Structure 1
Amino acid sequence: MTTDSLATSSFGEDPEKDVGLNSSPKDGEVHLTKYEADLRDAAEPPFTEEVEPAANGSALERVASAKPSVNNIKSVPNGGLVAWLQVLGSFFIYWNSWGIVNTFGVYQTYYETGLLASSSPSDIAWVGSIQAFLLMIGGAIAGPVYDAGYIRSLLLGGSILTVFGQMMLSLSTKLWQVMLSQGICMGIGLGILFTPGVAILSTYWSTRIALATGIAAAGSSLGGTVMPIVFYRLQPVIGFAWATRVLGFIMLFTLIISNLTLKVRVLPAGRRKMIDYTALKETPYMLFTIGQTLAFVGLYVPFFYVQSYVIRTGIAKPDLAFYFLSIINAASTFGRIIPGYMADFVGPLNLIVPFTIIAGILCLALTGAHSVASVIVILVIFGFCSGTLVSLPPTIIVQLTANRAVIGTRIGMCFAIVSVGLLIGTPVSGAILGASSFTYVWVFGGIFTVAGGLAMGACRVAKGGWTLVRKC
């Protein structure tokens, strides 16, 4: 996923050619599709210029800025060893950010039946929701820090907090200890890590940005697939404490790779604002943000509770049930890559709306799923559809924003608001479960996800009208 702060590249000899002011490209120049151009242009600010006296002192003449521009794609590597190493480093940032959040469902089930059996599902869910909340809002706040050039501080600080929180979790025996280590400490660390990991790719890739970001984003799904299996296989053999430490050592090793490979090529020409108040007056942007928030209230309900559901209802034995979370995440891998390519042809809004609604309907369908086969089929399709809610929003916000100088700010604002949905969704589901049954948990998650899809559908109408064949 591409986010708010994208760095810049150097000017050539002709400033107008470099910033793309010519109306038609010459032979040999790189041609970008609209999707690739939108991702490339998601910079804040896009470029700067300076003026200096002419030789005769009679007038001012324009010169290229001393600070380079992201719009000069000629100097973007777009391949090569160093560029691919950035993909590798970003892959493991995704692995250790959203991949960790996607893993919490296995902890939710274990806590309910073991370590924190005396706590309610709602109380336990607060740990995972706070972790996800801090990841998303922390990523928005860390944007200006990245703009200022402190990528090393972000990577190192985020890595230390994340691994330290995981290791402290291995010593935790009470809910407040789990909250401090896994919820707060790791949540802050993940939020700090997230921004540099996803922002740096656009400084190394232009025409192949979709491929690069798709491979990197797959790290979150693969991390969410592998980590639960490792925990489940090791916990009965070596115990909770050492199983958790093994995951911590995996995180440490992969984050060392990210710290060694991620390297700033160029920095933005200035720091972005935290808030763009004009966005609050634009109907499409607000409808999309509201839709995202509503969708994320319900989206993570299956991630957190499907394993408990199949175990408690006797649909599947624990040995099989613990793989269900990995099934969702594995399917989500394809849901992050394939729609990114499809969006270039049909438009990202035209994809995210039906996929979100389908995901909500599938959550509702879990109320009638009483066999292993039916649950697995639902989870595979749900996982694929849910991937679009992670991969497409930055591109959509780019398309909804006319002023390129505030794209980063608007992405950060949207993420900050959406984080509220992440914060409250799963704890409310846990409270519903404590007071009733899983049927109402799936209804709650499904209704909010469908409502989010409908709100984004209203955004699509506000942006592109009622014509279904229009790319939007």
Structure 2
Amino acid sequence: MREREDQLASMQDADPGLAVLPPLDTSPRGWLAVVGGFACLFVSFGWITCIGVFQAYYSTHQLQDYSASAVGWIPSAETFLLFLGVPLFGGLFDRLGPTWLLAIGTALHVGGLLGAANATTYAQLFATQSVVSAMGTGAIFVAGTTAVGTWFRARRGLALGLVSAGSAIGAVLGTALIPVLFDSIGFPWTMRAVALTYFVLMVVALATTSRRPQPSASTPPPFRLSSLLPASLLRSRPVLVLAVACFFYFLGVFIPYNYLVVEALDGGDGDQSANNLLVILSATSTVGRIVPGVLGDRYGRFNTTIGFTLFSVVLVLCIWIAAPWRAGRIVFAALYGFGSGTFVSMVPTLVAQVCPDMGQLGLYLGAVYLVIAPSVLIAQPVGGALASAGQNQARDSYVWLKVFCAVSMALGVIGFVAARAAYQGNPGKLWWGGKV
């Protein structure tokens, strides 16, 4: 499997008819696509990463009469539908390219946010934010990341790291400004201001995002409805093991993003102090989404992913659980943002590595995210139930939530080790395997 991409990359040299294709890694159009991808991640994953702000706000305003688990379904379903949108839109990307997906995603995402601005009930908020807007973010995420992946090979980790930094910066600005806007102009106008900002960024993305033309041999087969749920690609062992690893890792990785602010408020921190934790986490995540890409290009993308994900597990065990007080939360937020940032930048990079044909990258990305999607759907409601179950714990009422986070992510790390071995063609060889 690992040699197929090298063989496809050499086709341009072997066939003079392919010499007109734009170069990999150095094309100006490719770097323009990085700009567009940055904007796409700013408005998609950057928005999703702000869900902790809404978890806390809804719990004390519109949905204060609902349980933490019930409120948790709104951000959980929102993240789930972003991920479910990847298999739904991945096959469409292979057939249509990014422009149509960006147009559809912009209409859904911006329209959903404008609808949420006028929402007052649980059902209205769920429909506009967790369904309509979320499906739009899925289309935007697929278009931005997949288009960039087609333009790069040796520097793919760096390129996708820069793209994913857009989500971190979007999260920093969102978590810092949205609570301030809630207090100054109110919830409805805050949502309208966000929608307008995202619309402008999507105009930039539409103008700059393109897909690299593929050799005729890479032309995807005729589109079928089965392409919307490309489960057949999971028959490939590397793809299946990678997808399962991502399922367990994503089962835990979002929990601190959602519950760190809520925990701080329950611990006596003020609104501003508690929200600053999410700002810190998002700010350090900017570095944590670029650095793994650079290191992955140099030392191996599987190796880098394993190292950073293991680091995140250690942080949960040794700081978030061991030091459940204000100073511990600040240190944890700063380090966890850096360590967990790899979950945005490296997963598309790993999918591209196990994909034998860039003309079907959208389908392969969709197959992996088809498995990931259920994990983010159940993670936050389960987290809410565990948070409630720990109320009798005098030292830390969130301890069972944190243990669940650590165990889930640890299973993901083991899965990444197994995926590396499967990609090398030796599932039994779990130890160090060189630059992989």
Q: TM-score, normalised by structure 1?
A: 0.79
Distance 1:239 1:19, change over 3 A: same
Contact 2:261 2:277 in 1 (8 A): yes
Deviation at 1:470, TM superposition (A): 2.5
Match of 2:341, SS?
helix
> 1:34 corresponds to which residue?
none
> 2:252 corresponds to which residue?
298
Q: What is the distance in 2 between the residues matched to 1:310 and 1:213? A: 33
2:235 pairs with 258, 263, 280, which one? 280
> 1:441 corresponds to which residue?
401
Q: What is the distance in 1 between the residues matched to 2:197 and 2:348? A: 29
1:245 pairs with 162, 183, 192, which one? 192
Match of 1:142, SS?
helix
The answer on 1:320 being equivalent to 2:268 is no
Contact 2:233 2:367 in 1 (8 A): no
> 1:458 corresponds to which residue?
418
Percent pairwise identity: 27
Q: What is the distance in 1 between the residues matched to 2:120 and 2:232? A: 45
Contact 2:98 2:144 in 1 (8 A): no
Q: What is the distance in 2 between the residues matched to 1:72 and 1:334? A: 36
Distance 1:276 1:383, change over 3 A: same
Q: CA RMSD in A?
A: 2.8
Equivalent pairs, count: 411
Distance 1:214 1:354, change over 3 A: closer
Q: What is the distance in 2 between the residues matched to 1:236 and 1:183? A: 23
Q: What is the distance in 1 between the residues matched to 2:151 and 2:421? A: 35
Deviation at 1:208, TM superposition (A): 4.8
Match of 1:457, SS?
helix
Distance 1:85 1:406, change over 3 A: closer
1:376 pairs with 316, 320, 330, which one? 330
Distance 1:461 1:163, change over 3 A: same
1:269 pairs with 204, 214, 219, which one? 219
Q: Deviations over 1:329-359 (max 9, x none)?
A: 2212112111112122322222222322331
Name whichever structure is richer in helix by fraction.
2
Distance 1:291 1:213, change over 3 A: closer
Q: What is the distance in 2 between the residues matched to 1:263 and 1:460? A: 30
Q: Deviations over 1:213-244 (max 9, x none)?
A: 32222101110110121111111111111122
Match of 1:392, SS?
helix
Match of 1:323, SS?
helix
Letter in 1 for 2:310: I
Q: What is the distance in 2 between the residues matched to 1:155 and 1:251? A: 12
> 1:289 corresponds to which residue?
243
The answer on 1:357 being equivalent to 2:310 is yes
Contact 2:157 2:301 in 1 (8 A): no
Gaps of 5+ in 1: 1-5, 7-14, 23-62
Further displaced range: 153-162 or 203-212: 203-212
> 2:393 corresponds to which residue?
none
Q: What is the distance in 2 between the residues matched to 1:297 and 1:196? A: 24
Contact 1:20 1:72 in 2 (8 A): no
> 2:374 corresponds to which residue?
420
Q: What is the distance in 2 between the residues matched to 1:227 and 1:207? A: 33
Q: What is the distance in 2 between the residues matched to 1:263 and 1:398? A: 17
> 1:111 corresponds to which residue?
58
Which structure has the bigger radius of gyration?
1
Map residues 51-450 of structure 1 onto 2, 5 A cutoff: 64=17, 75=23, 78-80=26-28, 82-149=29-96, 151-205=98-152, 208-263=155-210, 266=213, 269-271=219-221, 274=227, 275=230, 277=232, 279-280=234-235, 282=237, 284-314=238-268, 316-364=269-317, 365-400=319-354, 408-436=362-390, 437-450=397-410
Q: Deviations over 1:298-357 (max 9, x none)?
A: 11000001001011112x322111121122122121121111121223222222223223
Match of 2:65, SS?
coil
Q: What is the distance in 2 between the residues matched to 1:76 and 1:407? A: 15
Q: Deviations over 1:406-438 (max 9, x none)?
A: 654333211110111111111110122233331
Gaps of 5+ in 2: 391-396
Q: TM-score, normalised by structure 2?
A: 0.85
Deviation at 1:466, TM superposition (A): 4.4
Letter in 2 for 1:440: W
